[in-house]
Amino acid sequence: MKKSSVIYIPAFLASCSFVSLSVAAESAVEPQERIKGGVFTLSDDSDKAAPSLSKALDDVLANSDADAAQPADPHERVLSVNSIVQQVLKQNSQVIYADIQRQVSAEKVNYESGVYQSEFFSNLNYSDAHTQRTAQEKLSSTTAGNLNVLDETNTSFSAGVRKLFTTGGEATISFDTVEKDNNIIPYSYTYADRPERDSEFTSAVRLQLTQPLLKGLNNVEIESRIRRAELEVNIVEAQYQQQLLKIVSQSLSLYWQLYKATRFLEIRNLAVENAEKMVVDIEKRIKSGKEPESALVDAKSELLKRKVALASARQVQNEVSYQISTLVNDDSDNLSMARYVLKSGPNQAPFELSGSFEEYYQRVYAIWPNAKILQQNIAIQDEEIRVAQDSGLPTLDLELGYSTSNLARESNTGDAFDSEYPTWNVGLSFSMPIGHNQRANAQKSMAMLKQEQHKQDLRAVEVSLKNDLRARLYQVNTTYQEMNTLKENINILEDLYLSEVRKFNLGYGNIKDIYLREDTLNLERQRHIDGVIKYELAKVSLSLADGSLLNM
């Protein structure tokens, strides 16, 4: 009787659906090998060397990524490296918050610059007085000395425009008019029939200019506030870039973790399928007297262990999926129904650094957000020093004024612009602290100390960045070598596994040895997948370190 020649697909072959895997494996084995129902069936000539399955596995891994791009289940969500980054940048709450913060900082520049906006002002007052006149008031009035009571109303109105200049000066142009009505005015004029009350109107046009000559010249304090607001915009922009790098790095890390969890789950799933087929086959072999009853117990025990491992792998995949849903701000009612289908696969090509390391470092340093933030903070302290130096100067202000006026018995505001009655004034205003300006000196010292702190931080960032780049480059190289070494070891373990299967098919092998070989092979395949993901994560870490992550 012909010996049974059933060979079970090792679980390490998992990378896509079982059917597509079987087809790929069929094309990889020799013509006398064939696949039936997802198992390898070899001819009795099993002493021939079995071909390596690595190439078939690589093809399946590639094809599974293409198949995943067309999900049939409405609950499936296609994810690729680009799509997860786009979703995160569009939907992540931290990114949205950081973007709003950029807008806030930009508005602060407008707020500080608004101090130079011209200002219109106006004032209207009315007063009514009925008071006794003093002896001095009576003596000073030659025509109304006999009046004991002043009965008067005043209505005044003023309006003008005030403007602050970048020189530190302020100019004001205004128009003032006053209507005065009382019982003394009639005595100032000749009336045939003297009325009890009469009115007179006064109007004037005034131009006033104040210009600091020492402290406040060129509006150092205001210009410094505007400049600091602009520097803070640059800081917030750099912080925004930091946030984007952090979130994109996190999203890519989760993507590759989900990729690894999915591949591990498929490996465990196929391991269970293989164990189930092994149980069926053992039952047949027991009936034909080829295996003892204890072999079935061992097979069922192995099946239970693999089901436990499958449940654990499924839990890991769910945890990573939930983390991705949180990162993209997905509040679906039933996240357990959402299944991510991964479109992008790992790029196992070697990483090559263009140019020398020093050139690479200089390019990275020029765009590195931490360095930009510290440079802007140093510039902010420069502004603080300028303000402190300005506040330490004495105050010396030049004041210039010019006005025209008109007095009439009836309202005629146009006459106020006549230059027949002009008034000029010029003056200087001076003040200074007695002794040293303690506040200004302390402000300057604090700014200089803070600036030195930022400079020390900047030097530390330069060293840290250079060392971090070296470490990340080394990590990329070592993980690439580790990945290739694991791949070579898989080829060796494949041969050992197939050799054990041939021995079993010839009747002198032990089923426990097959389990052991398969488990060893499964573990190495998982280590290889883990090595591939470590290589991808190492490249993500490098892109995070050199700031090129957003250019991917």
Q: What pTM did the predictor assign?
A: 0.73
The whole-number pLDDT of residue 337 equals: 56
Residue 284, phi then psi, degrees to nearest 5: -65, -40
Per-position pLDDT tens, the chain of length 552 = 333 333 333 333 333 322 232 323 333 333 333 222 322 222 233 333 333 333 433 443 344 444 444 445 666 788 999 999 999 999 999 999 999 999 999 999 999 999 999 999 999 999 999 998 888 877 877 777 778 888 899 999 999 999 999 999 999 999 999 999 988 877 776 665 666 677 888 899 999 999 999 999 999 999 999 999 999 999 999 999 999 999 999 999 999 999 999 999 998 998 899 889 888 888 888 888 877 888 888 889 989 999 999 999 999 999 998 899 889 887 665 555 567 889 999 999 999 888 899 999 999 999 999 999 999 999 999 999 999 999 999 999 999 999 988 887 777 766 667 778 899 999 999 998 888 888 899 999 999 999 999 999 999 999 999 999 999 999 999 999 999 999 999 999 999 989 888 887 787 777 778 888 888 888 899 999 999 999 999 999 999 999 888 776
Nearest to 63 by CA among 11, 24, 10: 24
Region of 515 (left: φ > 0; alpha: ψ -120 to 50; beta: rest) is alpha
Rg of the chain over Cα atoms, rounded to whole angstroms, equals 44
Q: Where are the alpha helices (DSSP H) in 16-53?
A: 18-28
Q: What is the 3-state secondary structure (H, E, C) of 269-320?
A: HHHHHHHHHHHHHHHHHHHCCCCCHHHHHHHHHHHHHHHHHHHHHHHHHHHH
Q: Are 365 and 462 in contact (CB under 8 A)?
A: yes
The whole-number pLDDT of residue 115 equals: 94
Distance (Å, whole) CA 490 – CA 507: 26
